[in-house]
Structures are given as structure tokens and as C-alpha cells.
């Protein structure tokens, strides 16, 4: 099976243990992480030509992934400030 690029474990490798804990402990964070992973898999399917679509749809998905990544990073920064 081919490895999917841009997974949360790659994008936040230093924070991944915290991410795993937060997925189990916080519904909002779990939703963000799930949305990110689903969007990322959809992008991968399009880029690997498993799911053909238009360039506009692909661009919209990439922007969504970036927004979700920013929201996850913001959430993690807030957690670190509380620690």
C-alpha cells in the first residue's frame, strides 16, 4: 500500500503523541483531526488519479487541508501555553 503524504504524523511529528491524546480527550480536536485526514486522503486519491476531478475541486480541497492544519496548529499552541 502506498504511503499517503501530508498525514498528521508527518506534519506534526514532534507533537504526534499529544495529538493522539487530544483526539481521545477533546471532541473538537478529534473533529479537526478527522476532517484533516479525510481531506488529505481525498486529495491523495485525486493526485494519484484514483478519483478524477477538476483542478478547481483539487485547489479547494488543498485550501481546506491548509486551513485545517492551521486550526490544528493553533489548538496545539494554545495547549502549550496552558502547560
* pLDDT by 10s per residue, the chain, length 83: 567 899 999 999 999 999 999 999 999 999 999 999 999 999 999 999 888 899 999 999 999 999 999 999 999 999 989 87
Among all chains, which residue has been given the C-alpha cell 502506498?
2
Instruction: Give the up-direction half-sphere exposure of residue 22: CA atoms within 13 A in the CB hemisphere.
Output: 21
Continuous segment of H or E residues that includes residue 23: helix 16-25
**pTM recorded for the entire structure:** 0.91
Q: Which string of DSSP letters, residue by residue, matches 51-65?
A: S---HHHHHHHHHHH
Amino acid at each position: 500500500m502506498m504511503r499517503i503524504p501530508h498525514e498528521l504524523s508527518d506534519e506534526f511529528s514532534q507533537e504526534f503523541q499529544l495529538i493522539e491524546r487530544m483526539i481521545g480527550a477533546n471532541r473538537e480536536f478529534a473533529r479537526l483531526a478527522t476532517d484533516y485526514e479525510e481531506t488529505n486522503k481525498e486529495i491523495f486519491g485525486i493526485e494519484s488519479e484514483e478519483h478524477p476531478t477538476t483542478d478547481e475541486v483539487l485547489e479547494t480541497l488543498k485550501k481546506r487541508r491548509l486551513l485545517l492544519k492551521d486550526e490544528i496548529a493553533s489548538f496545539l499552541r494554545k495547549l502549550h501555553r496552558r502547560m
